[in-house]
Amino acid sequence: MLAGTAAVAGSLGLRLAWAEDGVVEIVAAPASLKLAGPQGPESALIGFDGRVPGPVLRLRQGELARFRFRNLLDEQATIHWHGIRLENAMDGVPGLTQQAVPPGGSFDYQFVPPDAGTFWYHAHVDSWSQVSRGLFGGLIVEEADTAFGPLHDHLLVLADWRLNDQGLFDAASLGNAMDWSHAGRIGTVLTANSAITPDLAMAADQAHRLRLVNAATARVLKLTLAGAQVIARDGQNLANPFPMPPKFVLGPAQRVDLMVVPLPGQVLELAEVSGDPLVIAVLSALPSAAGTTPPRLMPAQLPEPDLANAVLVPLLMQGGALGRLKGVEVAEMHAMGDMAATGPIWAFNNVSGMVAEPLATVGLGATILLEMVNDTAWDHAIHVHGHHFRVLTRQGQATGDDAWLDTVMIAPGESLKVAFVADNPGDWMIHCHMLEHSASGMDTWFRVSQAPLTAK
Ligand code: C2O
Ligand code: CU
């Protein structure tokens, strides 16, 4: 019955071991990678199944997936299934939804993914360090009838690495307080599926789905790909696909699915254009016999927020370099492995670190209207666990954007209103996905009760 619920995509040429009882085994283990290109030295990293990125996990929408996670590292670890609206106990947050898995230990994750799309999985213990060192991978949830066949479905897991003069992973600068109080740890090399500027071959005149995951701990990507259509964001298909703008912002942890139809003989470049253009991947058209009509993805179906009855939850971002942390309370760290390294630098609502009591407790099915204000001099990538939200306003102006996101970028001084239906019971984190910011205080959580709360 479990056969086929989870398997590995061919794109990285990887295999998963199948445990005896049909559960897919996934291990965290030491790994190595030549980060400066095939001629460079091997860096000592960590990875799922000892690979960086970890194997691409393919699940099916609405079908049970079971994983046995074994921790072969000499540090604690967990797996967080980023963006999957799963059962709270499977969310992988140490101290909130489970105990961290000790060295040599294991934990069984099982869940039914409700949405088809592009997700990723990553470490959630000291993620500022573990994700920086490679503990992440791509995760695809397939729709029941795959609109794009295997030859038309491509995934690039984008990662940002800081290398030292020897071309090795710069471990010495992990935990650098300067990075933490500024834009986070920014690298010197961008890889796509662990390669520098890989080449993807795509049949000409046919529609291809290109899934991108920003697995960087802090780097905000501004992407360009001529002629591409944006068809899904953060694992949720758009009702209204749109042409990719010339500098599409893909923040840490965000995903985007693009549709590309290469012309015969065309060579396209996916480039990062924050500064001088940097080519991330080359897409070359292969001759093909016949064209196809571009498939249309089923738009995501999520519950509509009920704004008239929403619970207002303020989320004020504070601290960082040039910011103020005066008068802020420092939470006892609530057993979060995540936040020990530099002490408080950032805060939400005058508290740095995980509050002991939830930011808000709402009844099952209530609409939450998060009122975010960024009172810092830095960008943040705010992630809500277990839910997807709509961005209603930016600076008080309606966005008109009907995408469902799990992570949103907010610029210095900006205010944003986002709304979602709290339809998933349990304790859910909200944090900055610039993982250095999270580790130094930008964390909080909310509770969704098991039943609707009745009005008093
Ligand atoms: Cu992708 Cu709490 O994180
Ligand atoms: Cu941040």
Antiparallel, parallel or unpaired: β 443-448 and 361-362: parallel
How many angstroms separate the CA atoms of 79 and 70, rounded?
A: 10
Residues 120-134 have a mean pLDDT of: 96
Work out the percent of the chain whose per-residue pLDDT is above 90. Answer: 82
pLDDT at 292: 78
Give the residue among 82, 135, 105, 155 at the shortest CA–CA distance from 388: 82
Residue 105, pLDDT > 60, answer yes
Give the H or E element holding residue 185. Answer: none
Q: Which atom of ligand 1 is nearest to the CA of 438?
A: 2
Ligand 1 contact via 431 beta carbon (within 6 Å): yes
Ligand 1 contact via 255 beta carbon (within 6 Å): no
Per DSSP, the residues of 190-231 read EEETTBSS-EEEEETTS-EEEEEEE--SSPPEEEE-TT-EEE
Confidence of residue 330 (pLDDT cuts 50, 70, 90): confident
Residues 329-342 have a mean pLDDT of: 61
Distances (CA, A) of 108 to 9, 15, 28: 22, 19, 14
What is the 442 CA–ligand 1 centroid distance (Å)?
12
Which protein residue's CA is at the shortest distance from atom 1 of ligand 1? Answer: 82
E-state strands within 49-203 = 54-60, 65-71, 79-82, 106-111, 117-123, 136-142, 153-161, 189-192, 199-203
Ligand 1 contact via 382 beta carbon (within 6 Å): no
Confidence of residue 41 (pLDDT cuts 50, 70, 90): very high
Q: Which atom of ligand 1 is nearest to the CA of 122?
A: 1
Distances (CA, A) of 308 to 315, 369, 401: 20, 10, 19
Which ligand gives the minimal distance to the CA of 434?
2
Residues 367-386 have a mean pLDDT of: 98
What is the sign of the dihedral through the CA atoms of 52, 212, 254 and 98? negative
Work out the percent of the chain whose per-residue pLDDT is above 70. Answer: 92
Confidence of residue 340 (pLDDT cuts 50, 70, 90): low
3 state SS of 404: coil
Helices (H), 104-198: 127-130, 177-181
What is the 442 CA–ligand 2 centroid distance (Å)?
7
Ligand 1 contact via 82 beta carbon (within 6 Å): yes
Mean pLDDT, the chain, rounded, equals: 91
Q: Is 88 left (phi over 0), alpha (psi -120 to 50) or beta?
A: alpha
What would the pLDDT profile of 202-261 be if each residue is shown by its tens digit?
A: 999 999 999 999 999 999 999 999 999 999 999 999 999 999 999 999 999 999 999 999
How many angstroms separate the CA atoms of 292 and 320, rounded?
A: 51
Ligand 1 contact via 383 beta carbon (within 6 Å): yes
Residue 298, pLDDT > 70, answer yes
User: What is the Cα 18 distance to its own chain's centre?
Assistant: 26
How many angstroms separate the CA atoms of 394 and 311, rounded?
A: 19
Ligand 1 contact via 216 beta carbon (within 6 Å): no
What would the pLDDT profile of 8-19 be if each residue is shown by its tens digit?
A: 333 443 445 555
What is the 193 CA–ligand 2 centroid distance (Å)?
25
Residue 110 neighbours by CB distance under 10 Å: 16
Residue 411, pLDDT > 90, answer yes
Assess whether the previous peptide bond of 53 is cis (omega < 30° from 0): yes
How many angstroms separate the CA atoms of 54 and 108, rounded?
A: 18
Which ligand gives the minimal distance to the CA of 380?
2
What is the 118 CA–ligand 2 centroid distance (Å)?
23
Residues 174-201 have a mean pLDDT of: 94
How many angstroms separate the CA atoms of 445 and 26, rounded?
A: 28
Distances (CA, A) of 419 to 34, 165, 390, 413: 43, 46, 5, 20
What is the 202 CA–ligand 1 centroid distance (Å)?
32
199, 281 Cβ separation under 8 angstroms:
yes
pLDDT at 89: 98
pLDDT at 10: 38
Q: Is 194 left (phi over 0), alpha (psi -120 to 50) or beta?
A: left
What is the 183 CA–ligand 2 centroid distance (Å)?
7
